[in-house]
Amino acid sequence: MVDEKKLQDAVKKTVSRDDVKYVVGYEKGTYGFQVTPSFAYDPKDADKFIFSPLCVYNLAVFPMLEEKPPLRKDQEPDTRKIGVVVKGCDARAIVQILQEKGLNREDVVIIGIPCTGVVDPKKLQAQFPENGKNMDIKTGKDNFIITIDEKTHTIAQDKLLDEKCKHCEYPTPILYDILIGDEIKATKKEDYKEIEDLEKKSMKEKWEYWEKQFERCIRCYACRNACPLCYCKECMVDQLSPQWVRRSVNLSENTAWNLLRAFHLAGRCIGCGQCERSCPMDIPLMQLNKKIEKEIKELFDYIAGIDPEEKPLLAMFKPDDPEEFIL
């Protein structure tokens, strides 16, 4: 378990610095098991900060959403840093953004938290559909200890653990300025079993499967808005001249959108699963991302978001890269 007092003290110390604008972390929500992003602009705001298995959201999206309004004459830009509380996968998102020059290292203060895994909110809701006034969840040795209105439930971690956490190879943030707690050594490995099962299907079976998934898409773009790596100033689906994707909601355009976005994240997706969690139609978007991740790892021995000094996959050339696709 994370010592929340140490976390709050670290946030207070960070936000007290003259060169820090604010720190974004987590606080308890107002409904059920919900946790919400929390912003500390001064030390007393840090008292709300928590960390628990409910902290599923990737807060690395917030530095990329920072508004930069037009400056008045003789007004200096606010160049203060933004503090971000990150888990292992969240830190990889920041590393990837640094590689792409979307952020400068001096723009952020990274408060890292070694993470043993978060819950899947949908699994939790299915297990406990009725919400109480006082709800909490803590991590036990091999289980989650859930409290609802002073009544305690103990449930095995495997039943509630987010799928990404079952294969997490980077539980400790790769990059941080402050680390809350001891490092956790990786004991898991991504086996891509689900992807391999899909690969065994025939082309017809694959299309029928994805047709059922994509026809449910309502094109709300929640996946894009929640993704820390979708930070283009203007998304291709918002462009009208030229218009790359029509705005009509049908299978053809839905397929184009979902495949274009998946390839836009090729060599960039860090597997946080925020897109899939945000999808109101429960489309298995991470299957697309994981398929591309698997291919890139096999072809180029490349993993996104690992080394801030390394160039992005599509911005480098290696003489020994395979060239079988060249005719």
Domain boundary among 157, 179, 201: 179
User: Are the C-beta atoms of residues 147 and 137 closer than 8 Å to each other?
Assistant: yes
Among the candidates 121, 147, 179, a domain finishes at 179
Residue 187 resides in a domain? no
Residues 146, 255 within the same domain: no
pLDDT value of position 321: 75
pLDDT at 105 over 80: yes
User: Quick one: tokens of 82?
Assistant: 């933004």
For residues 174 and 221, membership in a common domain is answered with no
Q: 164 and 63, same structural domain?
A: yes
What is the DSSP secondary-structure string of 123-168? HHHHH--S--SSEEEEE-SSEEEEEETTEEEEEEHHHHB-GGGGG-
> Quick one: which of 28, 68, 73, 79 has its CA closest to 49?
28
SS3 labels along 17-35: CCCEEEEEEEEECCCCCCE
Mean pLDDT of 148-167: 90
Across 159-179, average pLDDT? 94
| 133 lies in some domain | yes
Q: Are residues 98 and 136 both part of a single domain?
A: yes
Residues 151 and 9 occupy one common structural domain: yes
> What is the structure's pLDDT at 132?
67
| pLDDT at res. 243 | 83
* pLDDT of 207 higher than 70: yes
- Say whether both 12 and 74 belong to one domain: yes
287: domain range? Answer: 193-315
pTM for this prediction:
0.91
User: Is 77 part of a structural domain of the chain?
Assistant: yes
147 vs 305 pLDDT, higher one: 305
Mean pLDDT of the chain: 91
Percent of the chain exceeding pLDDT 90 equals 69
Report pLDDT digits (tens) over 254-263. 999 999 999 9
Number of domains in the chain: 2
Q: Please indicate, yes or no, whether residues 16 and 155 belong to a single structural domain of this protein.
A: yes
Distance between CA atoms of residues 146 and 119, nearest Å: 11
Q: How far apart are CA 133 and CA 176, in angstroms?
A: 35
Domain annotation covers residue 207: yes
Q: How confident is the model at residue 21 (pLDDT cuts 50, 70, 90)?
A: very high
Where on the phi/psi map is residue 163: left (φ > 0), alpha (ψ -120 to 50), or beta? alpha
Domain contains 327: no
Quick check: is 212 in a domain? yes
In this model, does residue 38 exceed pLDDT 70?
yes
pLDDT score, position 327: 59
pLDDT-wise least confident of 50-59, 213-222, 316-325 = 316-325
- pLDDT surpassing 70 at residue 316: yes
- The residue with tokens 């190879």 is 169
Same domain, 24 and 161: yes
The Cβ of residue 197 has, within 10 Å, a number of other Cβ atoms equal to 9
Residues 8 and 48 in one domain: yes
Query: What pLDDT is stored for residue 83 in this prediction?
Result: 97
Q: What is the mean pLDDT of the segment spanning 269-297? A: 95
Q: Which of the 8 DSSP states describes residue 177?
A: S
| 23 and 72 within one domain | yes
Average of per-residue pLDDT across 223-233: 93
Between these two residues, 197 and 33, which has the higher pLDDT value? 197
Return the pLDDT at 324: 73
Answer with the one of 179, 208, 225 that is the final residue of a domain.
179
Considering the domain architecture, whether residues 171 and 244 belong to the same structural domain is answered as no
184 lies in some domain? no
Query: For residue 150, which amino acid is it?
Result: E
Residue 20 shares a structural domain with residue 169:
yes
Predicted local confidence at residue 326, as pLDDT: 67
Would you say residue 167 lies in a domain?
A: yes
Residue 11 has pLDDT above 90, yes or no: yes
Yes or no: say if 109 and 40 are a contact pair by the CB < 8 Å rule: no
User: Looking at residue 70, what is its pLDDT?
Assistant: 79
